[in-house]
Amino acid sequence: MSQIAASFLRRCFAPDETVAVLLRRQDAAAPMQRIVRLEQVLESRYMAWLSYENQHGRSNIYVAANPLRPGSGKRTKECIASVRHLYLDIDQDGDARVAALGASQLVPPPTSILSTSPGKYQVLWRVERFEFPQQ
């Protein structure tokens, strides 16, 4: 599992970029957020910790779709360094909506489709030369 996650992260972010990782536990009042350089996330100890949290059902793990400015402490739109991905969160009728996206002539094929839980998906399109207002 951690090899798949590491490969995905390497495709989405450059080695020196800052990423936001969010762990949402079912039993916690507030999510745990880590804003770190990609190199730190890819370290074996860090990946092992995330894998443990994921495999033992303790946390749902999310990664922000776009890199943050170095030194950021939040995941706000002002902290986004560049628009790298457009994303769509599908929480209802997921299988039918993903099939409709695949058949659509109105949008390009997604770069990645992540199954976040049964029938729920995150859809990502890799983009270039997008400014934040266009997103």
Would you write out the chain's pLDDT as a tens digit for each of its 135 residues?
A: 478 889 989 999 998 999 999 998 877 778 889 999 999 999 999 999 998 888 886 778 889 999 999 999 988 889 999 999 998 999 999 999 999 999 999 999 999 998 888 899 999 999 988 877 776
Say what the pTM is. 0.81
Distance CA 85, CA 57 (A): 28
pLDDT computed for residue 77 by the predictor: 87
Q: How far is CA 73 from CA 4, 20, 69, in A?
A: 27, 9, 9
Phi, psi of 69 (to 5 degrees): -65, 140
Amino acid at 40: Q
pLDDT computed for residue 135 by the predictor: 66
DSSP, collapsed to helix, strand or coil, labels residue 18 as strand
The H-assigned helical ranges of 13-128 are 38-42, 44-55, 94-103
